[in-house]
Every structure is written in C-alpha cells, then in structure tokens.
A and B are shown apart, each in its own frame.
Chain A
Amino acid sequence: DQQVKQNSPSLSVQEGRISILNCDYTNSMFDYFLWYKKYPAEGPTFLISISSIKDKNEDGRFTVFLNKSAKHLSLHIVPSQPGDSAVYFCAASGSNDYKLSFGAGTTVTVRA
C-alpha cells in the first residue's frame, strides 16, 4: 500500500505561470519530506526538502508547503520555465527510519 501518493500523473502549465504539485501521505510517523526532479534517461536529483517542524521552505523559484494536520504537501514553482519540464517525485520518511517512500511522480510540461 503506497504511503505517499501523487494523485495527478501529469500537469501542463504555460511558461511564466505557477506550477503546483500535490502530495499526500498516510504515515503519521513521517517527519521529513523531499522533492526530486527527474529528466528522461537520468537519475532523480534532489530539489528541495522540508522537516515537520516547518510549514514552508523556499529556495529560489521553488517553495514547499507542509500541512501536517491534512498530511499534505505541495511544491510551487514560480515562474515556470521550459527547463522545469520533468517528472517530480515526492518522498518521505520518519526521523529514525532509513527507508525513503516515494510517490508515483507527476510529469510537468511547461508550454512556451
């Protein structure tokens, strides 16, 4: 049973607009969350993270929001650029857990 769910398989957005990617989790023991980005024929690369003591973390054009009560996090990309076209994975684990659980991924396409 998947503990991390990304319910939108794909997202299409116009260049310059905001991309919002959503992720839900079921395990209340999760307290660290990451987003990875993956281009075709390459391995995933780390994008941004957040721990449960925060509700927001920002890094340039990327912001992750965490709503612990709803077990929900989201990634905002503003403004979206063509190079942002990729698959984005949400991942989570507990602080004492070596295992990382991934969502199924959301494919983002940024239109010119």
Chain B
Amino acid sequence: NAGVTQTPKFQVLKTGQSMTLQCAQDMNHEYMSWYRQDPGMGLRLIHYSVGAGITDQGEVPNGYNVSRSTTEDFPLRLLSAAPSQTSVYFCASSYSGGAAYEQYFGPGTRLTVT
C-alpha cells in the first residue's frame, strides 16, 4: 500500500494564481481531510469529507475549495493564492473522523506564495 500520497512536494505561486494540491489514498478510507501547519499554530483543519460526494468546512476554509468525487481522491483547490496561504499542507485519511480513529497523513506539500 502506498498509503496517503500528495503532489507536488513543493510549489511556488505568485499572488492571484490558482492551483490544485492533489491527495490520494489506497486504504479505502471514508474520511479524508486537509490541514495546514503554520509555526506556533499546530495543524488547523481546512476542509474534510466523510465520504464520496460529501464535504464540509473545517476551522480555516476561506480561500480553499474541495470536492470528493471518488473514495480515493480529495483535491484541495486554491482559488486565488495569497501570501497568507504560504504554509505546509497535509492531507489525511482514516476509517472515520474524530480522535477515535487514527488518521494517516501524507508527506505534505510546502507552498510558498510570493
């Protein structure tokens, strides 16, 4: 099993550009989520999905869109990049949400917006 994979590993964008961060898992997990990690802030939930076709907002959803057309994939779209979105982004999956189930994280995407 590859687990949770994320592409790209690194990305530099100019302010106003859009892009999609890819996330895929091969563990048949129903729950997937996106986090951003910033110094001194820990991991903050952006969006999550409890199954194909179902998504919901997390703690910091503004400026990001998601969709879940298949169980395996959960892309994160930045609509118009801003310097405040410079961060490390992690995708995670688990059998279900919350702390009752171990979440498996991808290796992360380091995004810089200039």
Q: Which residues of A contact B (CB under 8 A)?
A: 2, 4, 6, 9, 30, 32-34, 36, 41-46, 49, 51, 89, 91-105
* CB-based contact A49/B99 at 8 Å: yes
Q: How many Cβ-Cβ contacts under 8 Å join chain A to chain B? A: 78
Q: What residues on A are CB-neighbors of B74 within 8 Å?
A: none
Checking B41, B42, B50, B90 against A98 with a beta-carbon cut-off of 8 angstroms, the contacting residue is: B50
Shortest beta-carbon distance, A23 to chain B, in Å? 11
* CB-based contact A51/B42 at 8 Å: no
Q: Which residues of B contact A (CB under 8 A)?
A: 4, 31, 33, 35, 40-45, 48, 50, 56, 58-59, 90, 92, 96-100, 102-108
Residue of A9, A95, A102 ringed by the most chain B CB atoms within 10 A = A102
**11 further A-B pairs in the complex, CB-CB below 8 A; given A43-B107, A49-B102:** A43-B90, A46-B102, A89-B43, A96-B98, A98-B31, A98-B56, A98-B97, A98-B98, A100-B98, A100-B99, A101-B45
